[in-house]
Amino acid sequence: MTLQYFDYKYSFSLESGESLPGFRLAYTTRGTLNEEGSNVVWICHALTGNADAGDWWGGMVGSGRYFDPAPPTGTGQFIVCANVLGSCYGSTGPLSVNPATGQPYYHDFPAITIRDMVNALDLLRQELGIEKIHTCIGGSVGGEQALEWAILQPNLIHNLVIIAASAVASPWCIAFNEAQRMAIEADPTWPERRADAGVAGMKAARAMAMISYRNYDTYGFTQALDNNEQLDGYKSASYQRYQGDKLADRFNAFTYWTLSKVMDSHNVGRNRGSILNALGQIKAYTLVVGIRSDLLFPPTEQQFLARHIPNATYEEIDSLYGHDGFLIEFRPLANIIRKWMASAPAEVVKLEEVVRQAK
């Protein structure tokens, strides 16, 4: 598995009315596309994810996993994952060079949306010669991409799996994001045009985000007091700092800012009449999965999707880990998908059937 690059060398119009003078997407593929082109699994990553789904979703992708590119016999799935526009793992983002100035964009990177990201992904799909996607799956921001794609291209995706995502960014979610951007703004280095500007603010922002990704019970279980005599040195305090430092080792504040704004922009109803009208356009056989303890994207948001997407099924995972459960609860998630796929109508080609036919 090698990181590959797709370079789009034409002007790319954005929802904001601005444009990019072309862009690059980093992506990976695993497995082999079969002759019928019927074994494509497209995985959409979340906020700080990258193009290597086996890296951040190893419990779901790889040998012996539900998404297996190379089973012992036969042909497995052809798995595609691309680093989204605006990110920092090889795709065009705020630290990329602006051809108009010869310098990185930094604060001048144009505002992008989930829909812009998906339009870029669709250009990559065309470049790869993929005419149909057997299963498109994503959690959180990845789920928002998959949802948007199923609306933009109703006949492209056969099976759609949306995990811990919503039809529109809630005021609650936007408030969390704005608080994080305020932390970045409070960093005195943020106005500077250098790659590490705002990094201290981003560490604080990430610590805030972790509270929304987990929940009260998560911290009570994993970061419990050492003893009743403690006056300092609490596990939960050091954990917050650790998470900030960990992200700073692999991310930058400009990208974090940009992608948080992308989250805010999510609204499938924009310029489509209404949210219900947009969801009604989806033709894919759809599974929507909620996480009972999710504070950031509560199950009511996934239940709403399942009610208004035709041919949709709702399932729920009971996890200690809140929103992050979609990155952790591999076994129950795989079981839910397997059971749902097994009960698909006769006209829906099941993932296991694609593999079996190739043997």
The Cα–Cα gap between 63 and 199 comes to 37
In angstroms, the Cα distances linking 274 to 106, 267, 277 are 34, 10, 5
At 282-311, the pLDDT tens digits run 999 999 999 999 999 999 999 999 999 999
The rounded distance, in Å, linking the Cα atoms of 335 and 332 is 5
268 and 168 Cβ atoms separated by less than 8 Å: yes
d(CA 84, CA 67): 21
pLDDT for residue 353 is more than 90: no
Beta strand 103-104 with 97-98: parallel, antiparallel or unpaired? antiparallel
- In the chain, the DSSP E strands lie at 4-8, 12-13, 19-20, 23-30, 40-44, 78-82, 97-98, 103-104, 133-139, 157-163, 285-291, 312-317
| pLDDT tops 90 at residue 130 | yes
- What pLDDT is stored for residue 352 in this prediction? 57
Other residues' Cβ atoms within 10 Å of the Cβ of residue 226: 9
The DSSP bridge partners found for residue 333 are: none
Nearest to 117 by CA among 14, 18, 41, 27: 14
Q: What band does 347 get if pLDDT is binned at 50, 70 and 90?
A: low
pLDDT at residue 358, as a whole number: 46
The percentage of residues in the chain with a pLDDT greater than 90, rounded to a whole number, is 91
> Which tens digits make up the pLDDT trace of 28-69?
999 999 999 999 999 999 999 999 999 999 999 999 999 999
CA 147 to chain CA mean position, Å: 11
Predicted local confidence at residue 359, as pLDDT: 42
Give the model confidence (pLDDT) of 64-107 as tens digits. 999 999 887 666 999 999 999 999 999 999 999 999 999 999 99
Residues 293/320, Cβ–Cβ less than 8 Å = yes
Give the mean pLDDT of the chain: 95
- Using CA atoms, how far residue 147 sits from 42, 224, 225, 287, 358, in Å, is 12, 38, 41, 11, 29
How crowded is residue 90: how many other Cβ atoms within 10 Å of its Cβ? 19
pTM beyond 0.85? yes
DSSP class of 350: P
Q: Are strands 19-20 and 12-13 parallel, antiparallel or unpaired?
A: antiparallel
Report, as residue numbers or ranges, the catalytic residues: 140, 294, 323
DSSP 210-226: HHHHS-HHHHHHHS--S
Q: What is the pLDDT of residues 147-190, one digit of tens each?
A: 999 999 999 999 999 999 999 999 999 999 999 999 999 999 99
CA angle 265, 270, 271 (to 5 degrees): 140
b or e along 322-356 (b: 16 or more beta carbons within 10 Å of the residue's beta carbon)? bbbbbbebbebbeebbeebbeebeeebbbbeebbe
Q: Check residue 349 and give its pLDDT.
A: 59
- Which positions ≥6 away from 353 have C-beta within 8 Å? none
Beta strands 97-98 and 12-13, pairing class: unpaired
